Structure 1
Amino acid sequence: PGQDRPVRWGASRRIAEPGDKGAALMDIVLRATAMFFILYGLLRLLGKRELSQMTPFELVTLIVLGDLIQQGVTHNDFSLTGATLAIVTFAFWGIVLSWASYLSPRVEKLLEGEPRVIIRHGELLADNLRRDRLTRAEIESEMRLAGYPRIRDVAWAILETNGKISFIGADGASVGAQDRDDPAL
């Protein structure tokens, strides 16, 4: 009372006073929420790629991104409470989006995308490859792993929403996204 406090400014708003724990914790929740949706949008823009399909640079970029997100979310709060709150906020929004996808096919299509045909009747669909930034060499590599040496041996290849590719052979045999990892094949 009667004392003038210096004005302290954050990025675009005042910083919570040292005794104002509730505001500081709510700030973490708001920052974590913002970062969750920024990260979600960024990963959607990056496209459907499996971890095994990433270049070493893309993998390192994702690892560094984690540290940058932590700095942006918790700011100067290095407490266990702050870290827990940030993690719980990310988990909360992940569960909310998962339930929304489960309950609504329209939301699922919006959030998860749709499978895309990349080979039809032995013909590579260049426009669909371009949309997902896939090269012919990447598709041929996945085909060989699935046991198809030539494109003409594939009746259909479908890029699934999880980034894996399902192949249906010209002879009608199918190698699904989960089957390729089965050592018995």
Structure 2
Amino acid sequence: MEQLFFSGTQSLFRTLLVGVLAYVTLVVFLRISGKRTLSKMNAFDLVVTVALGSTLATVLLTKDLALADGALAFALLIGLQFIVTWSSVRVRWVRKVVTGEPLMLLHQGALLPSALRRARVTEDEIRAAVRTAGLASLSDVEAVVLETDGSFSVIRQSEGNPSALIGVRDPAGEAQQANRDES
């Protein structure tokens, strides 16, 4: 029963030493790999961030796991993240597989029911996003887009062509093509 609350000073010392070293190792790896490694641009980035945190916890609390094993796991996750993001910048189909596409949920003040169902988003969530953007009426909105990271972008009505909507899937499932040649 004593082991349940206190397993000795050696265990505490190991946790302290390995914790500091694993933390420093992770910070160094993250600084080397660049800011993109911990960005929150899409679901893939979230998975990598959670996996790094889980790996850090495992290294800290698993007595049978050496710090070198944990450092290798950090390097592997960060290396895979680098390869996938490097590829997604250069190869369109990789980008589509990894990040998906933004989806338009409201267009020119009108909710798009089929898009809402596909994205599993309610009208109340759209109205909340519009309110958060400081708008009182859906008719003041050109578009609400569900971004690849799960956030909503609210675009106000404006005169002219909203070029920010190029590449966003519209209600029919097609990417916006308006003035793509002009960009």
Q: Give the structure 2 partner of residue 162 of structure 1.
A: 149
1:76 deviates by: 6.7
Q: 2:129 aligns with which of 119, 122, 142?
A: 142
Output the CA distance in 2 between the equivalents of 1:128 and 1:165: 14
Q: Give the structure 1 partner of residue 90 of structure 2.
A: 103
Q: Per the alignment, do residues 90 and 165 of structure 1 end up closer, same or farther by CA in structure 2, a change over 3 Å counting?
A: same
Q: Give the structure 2 partner of residue 130 of structure 1.
A: 117
Structure 1: gaps spanning 5 or more residues: 1-46, 52-61, 177-185
1:90 deviates by: 0.6
Output the CA distance in 2 between the equivalents of 1:157 and 1:69: 37
1:133 deviates by: 2.1
1:99 deviates by: 0.8
- Counterparts in 2 of 1:13-32, with a 5 A limit? none
- Counterparts in 2 of 1:16-165, with a 5 A limit? 67=54, 77-165=64-152
Q: Give the structure 1 partner of residue 26 of structure 2.
A: none
Output the CA distance in 1 between the equivalents of 2:69 and 2:129: 43
* Per-residue Cα deviation, 1:99-139 (whole angstroms, up to 9, x for no partner): 11011112111211111111012111122222222222222
Structure 2: gaps spanning 5 or more residues: 1-41, 165-183
Output the CA distance in 1 between the equivalents of 2:105 and 2:82: 31
Q: Give the structure 1 partner of residue 24 of structure 2.
A: none
Secondary structure of the residue that 1:83 maps to in structure 2? helix
Q: Per the alignment, do residues 80 and 64 of structure 1 end up closer, same or farther by CA in structure 2, a change over 3 Å counting?
A: closer
1:166 deviates by: 2.3
Output the CA distance in 1 between the equivalents of 2:101 and 2:91: 14
Output the CA distance in 1 between the equivalents of 2:128 and 2:120: 15
Output the CA distance in 1 between the equivalents of 2:63 and 2:119: 38
Secondary structure of the residue that 2:65 maps to in structure 1? coil
RMSD: 3.5
Q: Per the alignment, do residues 134 and 153 of structure 1 end up closer, same or farther by CA in structure 2, a change over 3 Å counting?
A: same
1:165 deviates by: 2.3
TM-score of the superposed pair, with normalisation by structure 1:
0.51
Output the CA distance in 2 between the equivalents of 1:85 and 1:65: 12
1:79 deviates by: 1.3
* Per-residue Cα deviation, 1:17-73 (whole angstroms, up to 9, x for no partner): xxxxxxxxxxxxxxxxxxxxxxxxxxxxxx96xx9xxxxxxxxxx9799549965xx
